[in-house]
Chains A and B, each alone.
Chain A
Amino acid sequence: AQSVTQLGSHVSVSEGALVLLRCNYSSSVPPYLFWYVQYPNQGLQLLLKYTSAATLVKGINGFEAEFKKSETSFHLTKPSAHMSDAAEYFCAVSSYRGSTLGRLYFGRGTQLTVWP
Protein backbone atom coordinates (compact mmCIF):
# COMPACT_ATOMS: atom_id res chain seq x y z
CA ALA A 1 0.00 0.00 0.00
CA GLN A 2 1.06 3.57 -0.57
CA SER A 3 0.26 6.73 1.34
CA VAL A 4 1.33 10.32 1.77
CA THR A 5 1.42 12.44 4.92
CA GLN A 6 1.62 16.19 4.70
CA LEU A 7 2.69 17.71 7.99
CA GLY A 8 0.82 20.92 8.71
CA SER A 9 -2.52 21.67 7.11
CA HIS A 10 -1.71 25.38 7.21
CA VAL A 11 1.63 27.17 6.75
CA SER A 12 2.07 30.94 6.94
CA VAL A 13 5.16 32.84 5.85
CA SER A 14 6.09 36.43 5.18
CA GLU A 15 6.79 37.59 1.67
CA GLY A 16 10.44 36.93 0.91
CA ALA A 17 10.78 34.19 3.52
CA LEU A 18 11.64 30.54 2.89
CA VAL A 19 8.75 28.25 2.05
CA LEU A 20 8.95 24.67 3.36
CA LEU A 21 6.04 22.29 2.88
CA ARG A 22 6.58 18.82 4.28
CA CYS A 23 5.65 15.53 2.67
CA ASN A 24 6.47 12.01 3.82
CA TYR A 25 5.49 8.95 1.84
CA SER A 26 5.06 5.27 2.41
CA SER A 27 5.70 2.87 -0.43
CA SER A 28 6.94 -0.72 -0.66
CA VAL A 29 8.12 -0.18 -4.25
CA PRO A 30 10.14 2.63 -5.85
CA PRO A 31 7.86 5.66 -5.75
CA TYR A 32 7.00 8.32 -8.24
CA LEU A 33 6.33 11.54 -6.33
CA PHE A 34 4.45 14.66 -7.32
CA TRP A 35 3.58 18.09 -5.99
CA TYR A 36 0.43 19.79 -7.26
CA VAL A 37 -0.81 23.32 -6.60
CA GLN A 38 -4.40 24.53 -6.51
CA TYR A 39 -5.15 28.23 -6.74
CA PRO A 40 -8.54 29.45 -5.50
CA ASN A 41 -11.46 28.26 -7.64
CA GLN A 42 -9.17 26.42 -10.05
CA GLY A 43 -8.22 22.83 -10.75
CA LEU A 44 -4.90 21.33 -9.74
CA GLN A 45 -1.76 21.79 -11.78
CA LEU A 46 1.56 20.01 -11.61
CA LEU A 47 4.42 21.84 -9.88
CA LEU A 48 7.08 19.15 -10.17
CA LYS A 49 7.65 15.41 -10.12
CA TYR A 50 10.26 12.84 -9.12
CA THR A 51 10.54 9.81 -11.40
CA SER A 52 13.72 8.08 -10.18
CA ALA A 53 16.17 10.36 -11.98
CA ALA A 54 17.82 13.28 -10.15
CA THR A 55 16.89 13.46 -6.47
CA LEU A 56 16.66 17.27 -6.53
CA VAL A 57 13.79 18.23 -8.75
CA LYS A 58 13.10 21.75 -9.96
CA GLY A 59 9.61 22.82 -10.86
CA ILE A 60 7.70 25.85 -12.00
CA ASN A 61 7.57 29.20 -10.18
CA GLY A 62 10.91 28.66 -8.41
CA PHE A 63 9.83 25.63 -6.40
CA GLU A 64 12.00 22.58 -5.90
CA ALA A 65 11.82 19.35 -3.94
CA GLU A 66 14.38 16.81 -2.82
CA PHE A 67 13.74 13.08 -2.71
CA LYS A 68 15.33 11.56 0.39
CA LYS A 69 14.89 7.81 0.44
CA SER A 70 16.43 7.40 3.91
CA GLU A 71 13.86 9.81 5.33
CA THR A 72 11.01 8.78 2.99
CA SER A 73 10.49 12.48 2.38
CA PHE A 74 9.81 14.76 -0.57
CA HIS A 75 9.60 18.24 0.96
CA LEU A 76 8.77 21.23 -1.21
CA THR A 77 10.80 24.42 -0.87
CA LYS A 78 11.10 27.88 -2.34
CA PRO A 79 13.82 30.28 -1.19
CA SER A 80 11.70 33.41 -1.27
CA ALA A 81 7.92 33.44 -1.01
CA HIS A 82 5.80 35.66 -3.21
CA MET A 83 2.25 36.78 -2.60
CA SER A 84 1.17 34.85 -5.70
CA ASP A 85 2.33 31.58 -4.08
CA ALA A 86 -0.67 31.61 -1.75
CA ALA A 87 -2.55 28.42 -2.65
CA GLU A 88 -3.15 24.87 -1.54
CA TYR A 89 -0.41 22.35 -2.20
CA PHE A 90 -0.83 18.60 -2.54
CA CYS A 91 1.81 15.89 -2.43
CA ALA A 92 1.09 12.60 -4.20
CA VAL A 93 2.72 9.18 -4.67
CA SER A 94 2.36 6.49 -7.29
CA SER A 95 4.35 3.57 -8.62
CA TYR A 96 4.56 1.25 -11.58
CA ARG A 97 2.59 -2.00 -11.57
CA GLY A 98 4.29 -3.88 -14.37
CA SER A 99 4.31 -1.49 -17.29
CA THR A 100 1.45 0.64 -16.02
CA LEU A 101 1.66 3.56 -13.64
CA GLY A 102 -0.78 2.82 -10.85
CA ARG A 103 -3.21 4.85 -8.85
CA LEU A 104 -2.12 8.23 -7.48
CA TYR A 105 -2.46 8.71 -3.71
CA PHE A 106 -2.78 12.31 -2.48
CA GLY A 107 -2.01 13.88 0.86
CA ARG A 108 -4.60 16.03 2.61
CA GLY A 109 -3.04 19.24 1.37
CA THR A 110 -1.28 22.23 2.93
CA GLN A 111 -2.76 25.71 2.66
CA LEU A 112 0.02 28.27 2.19
CA THR A 113 -0.65 31.86 3.29
CA VAL A 114 1.84 34.58 2.39
CA TRP A 115 1.77 37.79 4.46
CA PRO A 116 2.99 41.09 2.99
Chain B
Amino acid sequence: GAGVSQSPSNKVTEKGKDVELRCDPISGHTALYWYRQSLGQGLEFLIYFQGNSAPDKSGLPSDRFSAERTGGSVSTLTIQRTQQEDSAVYLCASRDQNTGELFFGEGSRLTVL
Protein backbone atom coordinates (compact mmCIF):
# COMPACT_ATOMS: atom_id res chain seq x y z
CA GLY B 1 0.00 0.00 0.00
CA ALA B 2 0.90 3.64 -0.22
CA GLY B 3 1.16 4.24 3.53
CA VAL B 4 1.39 2.52 6.88
CA SER B 5 -1.77 0.58 7.54
CA GLN B 6 -3.00 -0.30 11.03
CA SER B 7 -5.88 -2.48 12.10
CA PRO B 8 -8.25 -2.42 13.78
CA SER B 9 -8.77 1.34 13.85
CA ASN B 10 -10.89 0.96 16.98
CA LYS B 11 -11.01 -1.86 19.50
CA VAL B 12 -13.18 -2.07 22.60
CA THR B 13 -12.44 -4.96 24.92
CA GLU B 14 -13.15 -6.11 28.41
CA LYS B 15 -10.57 -6.04 31.15
CA GLY B 16 -8.60 -9.28 31.22
CA LYS B 17 -8.98 -10.09 27.53
CA ASP B 18 -6.07 -10.33 25.10
CA VAL B 19 -5.84 -8.05 22.08
CA GLU B 20 -3.75 -8.02 18.92
CA LEU B 21 -2.98 -4.90 16.94
CA ARG B 22 -1.59 -5.16 13.44
CA CYS B 23 0.74 -2.91 11.48
CA ASP B 24 1.52 -3.21 7.79
CA PRO B 25 4.48 -0.91 7.04
CA ILE B 26 5.47 0.72 3.80
CA SER B 27 7.10 -1.81 1.51
CA GLY B 28 10.88 -1.75 1.73
CA HIS B 29 11.07 0.08 5.05
CA THR B 30 13.37 -1.90 7.32
CA ALA B 31 12.67 -0.02 10.54
CA LEU B 32 9.35 -0.25 12.36
CA TYR B 33 8.25 1.41 15.60
CA TRP B 34 5.35 1.06 18.00
CA TYR B 35 4.34 4.01 20.17
CA ARG B 36 1.52 4.54 22.64
CA GLN B 37 -0.29 7.83 23.00
CA SER B 38 -2.59 8.29 25.96
CA LEU B 39 -4.99 11.20 26.42
CA GLY B 40 -2.99 14.31 27.23
CA GLN B 41 0.29 12.43 27.05
CA GLY B 42 3.08 12.52 24.54
CA LEU B 43 4.39 9.62 22.50
CA GLU B 44 5.52 6.72 24.64
CA PHE B 45 8.05 4.51 22.89
CA LEU B 46 7.23 0.80 23.08
CA ILE B 47 9.42 -1.20 20.71
CA TYR B 48 11.65 -0.73 17.66
CA PHE B 49 12.52 -3.27 14.95
CA GLN B 50 15.46 -2.65 12.63
CA GLY B 51 16.02 -5.19 9.89
CA ASN B 52 17.21 -8.52 11.24
CA SER B 53 18.66 -7.07 14.42
CA ALA B 54 17.25 -7.93 17.82
CA PRO B 55 14.38 -5.53 18.56
CA ASP B 56 14.75 -2.76 21.11
CA LYS B 57 12.07 -3.73 23.63
CA SER B 58 13.13 -1.26 26.29
CA GLY B 59 9.85 0.68 26.15
CA LEU B 60 7.44 -2.19 26.75
CA PRO B 61 5.68 -1.31 30.04
CA SER B 62 5.21 -4.85 31.32
CA ASP B 63 5.52 -8.49 30.33
CA ARG B 64 1.89 -8.39 29.23
CA PHE B 65 3.10 -6.55 26.15
CA SER B 66 4.90 -8.26 23.28
CA ALA B 67 5.45 -7.64 19.60
CA GLU B 68 6.59 -9.61 16.61
CA ARG B 69 7.63 -8.71 13.13
CA THR B 70 7.38 -11.62 10.77
CA GLY B 71 9.37 -11.75 7.57
CA GLY B 72 10.63 -8.24 8.10
CA SER B 73 7.26 -6.78 7.18
CA VAL B 74 3.98 -6.99 9.11
CA SER B 75 4.14 -6.48 12.85
CA THR B 76 1.70 -7.51 15.56
CA LEU B 77 1.55 -5.92 19.02
CA THR B 78 -0.10 -8.20 21.56
CA ILE B 79 -1.42 -7.11 24.93
CA GLN B 80 -2.36 -9.91 27.27
CA ARG B 81 -4.82 -9.63 30.17
CA THR B 82 -5.66 -6.03 29.28
CA GLN B 83 -6.06 -3.45 32.02
CA GLN B 84 -7.95 -0.15 31.93
CA GLU B 85 -4.69 1.77 31.94
CA ASP B 86 -3.85 0.14 28.60
CA SER B 87 -6.52 2.30 26.97
CA ALA B 88 -4.71 4.51 24.46
CA VAL B 89 -4.00 5.03 20.79
CA TYR B 90 -1.29 2.69 19.58
CA LEU B 91 0.69 4.17 16.72
CA CYS B 92 2.89 2.29 14.31
CA ALA B 93 5.49 3.89 12.07
CA SER B 94 7.97 2.71 9.49
CA ARG B 95 11.10 4.54 8.46
CA ASP B 96 12.67 5.40 5.15
CA GLN B 97 16.34 4.66 5.82
CA ASN B 98 17.45 6.98 3.02
CA THR B 99 15.70 10.11 4.26
CA GLY B 100 15.24 9.20 7.91
CA GLU B 101 11.58 10.16 7.74
CA LEU B 102 9.14 8.22 9.88
CA PHE B 103 5.76 7.51 8.31
CA PHE B 104 2.95 6.96 10.79
CA GLY B 105 -0.23 5.00 10.53
CA GLU B 106 -3.55 6.42 11.70
CA GLY B 107 -3.34 4.40 14.90
CA SER B 108 -5.42 1.80 16.68
CA ARG B 109 -7.60 3.22 19.45
CA LEU B 110 -7.90 0.69 22.27
CA THR B 111 -10.55 1.05 24.96
CA VAL B 112 -10.50 -1.36 27.89
CA LEU B 113 -13.74 -1.41 29.84
CB neighbors of B among A68-116 (8 A): 90, 92, 94, 100-109
Select which of B41, B95, B104 is within 8 A of A44 by beta carbon. Answer: B104
Tell me whether B101 is interfacial, beta carbon within 8 Å: yes
Which DSSP category, helix, strand, loop or mixed, fits chain A's interface? Answer: strand
Number of interface residues of B (CB under 8 A): 24
Roughly how many angstroms separate A51 CA and B106 CA in the complex, as a whole number?
26
A106 touches B31 (CB 8 A): no
Interface size class of A (residues with CB under 8 A): 20 to 34
CB neighbors of A among B56-111 (8 A): 56, 91, 93, 95, 97, 99-102, 104-107
Given A44-B91, A103-B48, do A90 and B106 touch, yes or no (CB 8 Å)? no
Q: Which residues does chain A contribute within 8 Å of B41, judged by CB atoms?
A: 108
Q: Which residues of B are in contact with A by a Cβ distance under 8 Å? A: 4, 31, 33, 35, 41-43, 45, 48, 50-51, 56, 91, 93, 95, 97, 99-102, 104-107
